Amino acid sequence: MTRILLASAALLLSGTSLAQGQLTVYTGRAKTFVEPIVQQFERSTGIKVNVRYGTDSQLVAALREEALAAAPKYLATKVLMAENYAAKIKDRALYDRLLDEVLAADPDALPEVAVEQRVEQEKARRMKAEKID
């Protein structure tokens, strides 16, 4: 089983840039299960693995915040979060807040994707009218 997991990780990493020589893994699994796999992976590849443990909701919240911090002006992130997270957990306040931020944003803040930003704003307008409860 460990070999399968290590092989899967190696395949996933083959298409990514690990210039920093680090990888972050988010998991809801127990440390006793994950640590031996991580240690073997680190020994085999020389890549440092940072493991973030938590419940599904804790990990989703962490990923959401990291995505927003990485590209705060990119509107598609907020639209996707409203659609695929806030709507699924039926959090209308979060849903509306994310979409309101998209609608209030300047689509030209990222000139290279201004057209896409306008498309995301139109999608946000349509989504605001939808019922999620």
Interatomic CA distance for residues 35 and 67, integer angstroms: 26
pLDDT tier at 18, thresholds 50, 70, 90: low
What single letter denotes the amino acid at residue 16?
A: T
pLDDT tier at 98, thresholds 50, 70, 90: very high
| Angle at the Cα of 46 from the Cα atoms of 19 and 41, rounded to 5 degrees | 115
DSSP β-ladder status, 22-27 and 48-53: parallel
Task: Give residue 56's Cα distance to chain centre.
Answer: 13
Average pLDDT, the chain: 87
Average pLDDT of the segment spanning 91-112: 96
pLDDT tier at 131, thresholds 50, 70, 90: confident
Helices (H), 1-133: 2-14, 31-45, 56-70, 75-81, 92-104, 114-128
Question: Residue 17's pLDDT is what?
Answer: 45
Q: Does the pLDDT value for residue 94 go beyond 90?
A: yes
Evaluate if pTM is beyond 0.85: no
Question: Residue 111's pLDDT is what?
Answer: 96
pLDDT tier at 57, thresholds 50, 70, 90: confident
**Tokens coding 119:** 């498309």
Task: Give residue 12's Cα distance to chain centre.
Answer: 16
Which one, of 32, 71, 70, 77, lies nearest residue 51 by Cα?
Answer: 32
% of the chain residues with pLDDT over 70: 84
Q: Does the pLDDT value for residue 7 go beyond 50?
A: no
